[in-house]
Amino acid sequence: MQERSFITPLKESIEDKKKELTEKMEKQMMKRLQSSTYPMRELLAFYRCAMMEVETKFRVLDEQFSLSHDRNPIESISSRLKTLDHIYEKARRKGIPLTIECIEKGIFDIAGVRVVCPFENDIYMLRDSILSHDDITLVEERDYISKPKPSGYRSLHLIIEVPIFLLNEKRLMKVEVQLRTMAMDQWASLEHRLMYKKDIPEEVKNDLRKKLLECADLNCRLDLIMQEIKDTTDLYLEDQ
């Protein structure tokens, strides 16, 4: 019994030392990355170029579709680039070494493009159209429309690889694309504002989650009804 009581605190002390050393090494690596600003600024510039490429492709699809169908399948397009702090935080959370090479290979959503559509069918039409481009590679797809998250969140997520053409090279960059209807986008924006990093008691949060899930169900029903209305009106337009 005496031996066991001596060994246990010793093991805990060793684990604490390991954790302290790991945190110290991570902080040193972060300082090196932040001090070598040019490589990181260059990498983020590449991601900005990739976002512009993807945005342009969607805008071209929207313009072409409007010419042939007399309506636009895209309501809005926006983009965002993760900050260095968020990149480093995600790398630590996923256990990715804090080097530029590992961050680029291990984090797929540094660059993000969000496409908001009027109707649910527009989402899948745009998905098929963008993936038909011979310079686009699908890396990953998550369909939270057919299988919503437990919270009620609905959206189609694509990780695609797109080439950017630099002065002396072609470089492949990953971009996360989120495709949503207007109802899905409004719900996600409000849910984020109401629930994200708020100091709310857990019992109150549980009640709010139930109400948000009810709203998500209503939004899903709204999208279905609006799609039915559109499909019906399209039939009459075809007869003219």
Options 176, 203, 228, 238, the catalytic residue: 176
Cβ neighbors of 153 (< 8 A, separation 6 or more) are 144, 187, 188, 191, 216
The set of residues, in sequence order, having a beta carbon less than 8 Å from that of 110 and lying 6+ positions away, is: 44, 47, 81, 82, 87, 103, 104, 174
Q: What share of the chain is helix, strand, coil (3-state, %, to 5)?
A: 60, 20, 20
Can you tell me the distance from the alpha carbon of 170 to that of 218, in angstroms, rounded to the nearest whole number? Answer: 46
3-state secondary structure of 123: helix
Cα distance between residue 101 and residue 164, in whole Å: 18
Tokens (6 digits) for 148: 């919503």
| Active-site residue, 176 included | yes
**Nearest-CA neighbor of 51 among 89, 79, 88?**
79
| Residues designated as active site | 176
